[in-house]
């Protein structure tokens, strides 16, 4: 999430206003519950706890920050994916925050957890070439070249787009790997 947060600020993470899953798509994998450490950044820890029947409470911790979000695993055309969304239950500011969903393709659950986000730059190039390819909004950043794509289509449209691109290597970039934190698991 810290990498995702930094990437959002630089315009590299693709988000959606609507979830990428429907309730019929949800799956629960008990092996995901526990604490994980990024293999490339040891100070980055992901803790998944069961929350409800088919969701997880995800606590993401780095040396500088802690984020608590909700995560849902789901399958689409046989591919495991994870939708990560903020958990604003109480609004402390007005206007209320807009929900944001981040998508990760789960390429492996064991012995390490391997995930890769949907490639923002690839989607940006796609909608620049064909603005009708996918419902979206372009959010301008502090610099003129900082433009972030936010998907605005409903879940069915998002899923149709994903199904067409699940095996497109250009659509998925900058994967990462988490290893189980065995010391934490024995406590």
Query: 112 lies in a domain?
Result: yes
Query: 133 lies in a domain?
Result: yes
CB atoms within 10 A of CB 54: 15
Query: 47 lies in a domain?
Result: no
Residue 15: which pLDDT band, with cuts at 50, 70 and 90? Answer: very high
Task: Average the pLDDT over 1-21 and give the result.
Answer: 66
Task: Average the pLDDT over 163-187 and give the result.
Answer: 85
Question: Cα–Cα distance between 27 and 151 in angstroms, integer?
Answer: 24
Q: Which domain holds residue 109?
A: 2-29+72-174
Decide if pLDDT at 7 tops 50: no
Task: Average the pLDDT over 132-157 and give the result.
Answer: 92
Query: 34 lies in a domain?
Result: no
Residue 97: which pLDDT band, with cuts at 50, 70 and 90? Answer: confident
**Mean pLDDT, rounded, of the chain:** 88
pTM, entire model = 0.88
How would you classify the pairing of strands 34-38 and 176-180?
antiparallel
Query: 185 lies in a domain?
Result: no
Query: 184 lies in a domain?
Result: no
* Domain count for the chain: 1
CB atoms within 10 A of CB 150: 16
Query: 150 lies in a domain?
Result: yes
- Contact (CB, 8 A) for 12 and 154: no
Residue matched to tokens 């604490």: 35
Question: Cα–Cα distance between 137 and 150 in angstroms, integer?
Answer: 5
Query: 182 lies in a domain?
Result: no
């Amino acid at each position: 999430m810290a990498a995702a947060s930094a990437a959002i600020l630089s315009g590299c993470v693709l988000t959606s206003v609507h979830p990428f899953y429907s309730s019929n798509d949800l799956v629960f994998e008990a092996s995901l519950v526990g604490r994980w450490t990024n293999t490339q950044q040891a100070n980055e820890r992901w803790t998944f706890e069961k929350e409800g029947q088919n969701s997880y409470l995800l606590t993401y911790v780095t040396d500088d920050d802690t984020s608590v979000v909700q995560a849902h695993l789901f399958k689409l055309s046989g591919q495991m994916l994870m939708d990560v969304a903020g958990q604003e239950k109480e609004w402390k500011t007005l206007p209320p925050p807009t929900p944001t969903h981040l998508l990760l393709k789960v390429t492996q659950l064991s012995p390490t957890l391997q995930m890769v986000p949907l490639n923002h730059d690839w989607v940006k190039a796609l909608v620049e070439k064909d603005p009708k390819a996918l419902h979206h909004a372009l959010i301008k950043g502090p610099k003129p070249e900082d433009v972030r794509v936010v998907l605005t289509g409903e879940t069915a449209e998002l899923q149709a787009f994903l199904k067409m691109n699940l095996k497109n290597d250009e659509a998925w970039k900058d994967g990462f790997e988490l290893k189980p934190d065995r010391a934490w698991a024995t406590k």
